[in-house]
Amino acid sequence: MSPCDDPSVFGVNKLRSPYSVKVTMDRISDALLRKGATIFARIDHAAAAQQQDLSLPDTELLIFGHPKLGTSLMNSAISIGLDLPLKVLATVDCEQQVWLMFNNPHFLQLRHGFREDLIAPLQDIQFVLQHALKD
């Protein structure tokens, strides 16, 4: 399998970004903060690899959440705590295309069995991510 072979990953949504990994994550972070989310961490996986004299394409992980949504989800299905706080991953492929990846809300509902009405707020986050990647 070549580095550009991209098998689909069950339960993971991908969005194409017209921006660099850094700018993509800056835009996502700003958009989430405007919606009242808390940013818990931003991890530069490529920089961490480089510190160990290893190579990794530009890849950053943003860990974020919203206590009201997270608490509702956990009160419905405590196991969702395994996937909270939420995460988005930005990376670049071998063709220099940047991708944003995140868990599909329906996958999370299927995995943890939380109430159906709690999918909508997770889908709202997906719309925030999509909007942040538009010009």
28-43 confidence digits (pLDDT tens):
999 999 999 999 999 9
- What is this structure's pTM? 0.91
Least Cα distance to 86 among 12, 8, 9 occurs for 12
φ, ψ of residue 96 to 5 degrees: the values are 65, 20
Closest CA to 120 of 80, 72, 84, 67: 72
* Domains of the chain as residue ranges with CATH: 13-132 (3.30.310.70)
The span from the CA of 116 to the CA of 72, in Å, is 12
Give the tens place of pLDDT for each residue, 90-122.
Answer: 999 999 999 999 999 999 999 999 999 999 999
Strand duo 98-103 + 12-17: pairing: antiparallel
Contact predicate 32/64, CB 8 Å: yes
